[in-house]
């Protein structure tokens, strides 16, 4: 089945966002691992796996349309050694992704591609959950101070 060119372009853009998310979460996980924050490592690895699943869903949709995923790498990652800054960067990235998915869903509706809209909506629900999780962590850091929060993230 041949896909709408606008949809194919947006699917590839979203795929790049997911790849950036994988790199960002994986790098933050490695940093937290080096600090001994095992609970944050578990959280960050789970987020990276979610992003991998999203990337796979987008690739599968592109392939369904007979389109190869693009190999462009924009690398819009924002990595930091400070955990509170990692959450700021992750929050910014997730908000950007949620906005991009909302726009993509509108486009899918406009062109009458309900199957793609359904896939994008499923991913958007995960992105919203990621935003909520990050905001909860940020609030804990605000309430406890970063040092006390981090002391709760070790084994």
Q: What is the CATH number of the domain that holds 35?
A: 1.20.1260.10
| Dist. CA 8–CA 1, nearest whole Å | 12
pLDDT over 70 percentage in the chain: 97
What is the residue-wise DSSP string for 91-154? Answer: HHHHHHHHHHHHHHHHHHHHTT-HHHHHHHHHHHHHHHHHHHHHHHHHHHHHHH-HHHHHHTS-
Expressed as residue numbers, the domain containing 47 is: 5-70+78-151
Could you read off the pLDDT of 85-125 as tens digits, one per residue? 999 999 999 999 999 999 999 999 999 999 999 999 999 99
Is residue 75 exposed (0-12), middle (13-18) or buried (19+ Cβ within 10 Å)?
exposed
| Dist. CA 114–CA 108, nearest whole Å | 7
Predicted pLDDT of residue 75: 67
Tokens of 106: 């509108």
Q: Which of 142, 136, 106 is nearest to 124 (CA)?
A: 106
Domain count, the chain: 1
Tokens of 28: 């933050």
pLDDT along the chain (155 residues), means of 10: 92 95 97 98 98 98 94 78 97 97 98 97 98 98 97 94
Residues 24, 77 contacting (CB under 8 angstroms): yes
Burial pattern 82-107, b for ≥16 Cβ within 10 A else e, equals ebbebbebbbebbeebbebbeebbeb
| Dist. CA 18–CA 77, nearest whole Å | 11
Predicted pLDDT of residue 73: 67
Residues 18, 47 contacting (CB under 8 angstroms): no
Torsion, Cα 132 135 139 145, to 10 degrees, reads 130
Predicted pLDDT of residue 71: 66
């Amino acid at each position: 089945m041949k896909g709408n060119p606008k949809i194919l372009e947006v699917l590839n853009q979203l795929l790049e966002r997911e790849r950036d998310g994988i790199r960002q979460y994986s790098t933050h996980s490695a940093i937290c691992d080096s600090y001994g924050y095992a609970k944050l490592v578990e959280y960050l690895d789970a987020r990276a796996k979610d992003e991998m699943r999203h990337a796979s869903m987008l690739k599968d949709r592109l392939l369904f349309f007979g389109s190869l995923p693009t190999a462009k790498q924009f690398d819009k990652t924002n990595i930091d050694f400070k955990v509170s800054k990692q959450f700021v960067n992750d929050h910014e990235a997730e908000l950007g992704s949620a906005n991009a998915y909302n726009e993509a869903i509108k486009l899918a509706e406009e062109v009458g591609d309900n199957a793609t809209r359904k896939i994008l909506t499923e991913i958007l629900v995960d992105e919203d959950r990621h935003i909520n999780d990050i905001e909860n962590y940020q609030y804990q850091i605000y309430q406890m101070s970063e040092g006390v929060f981090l002391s709760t993230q070790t084994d």
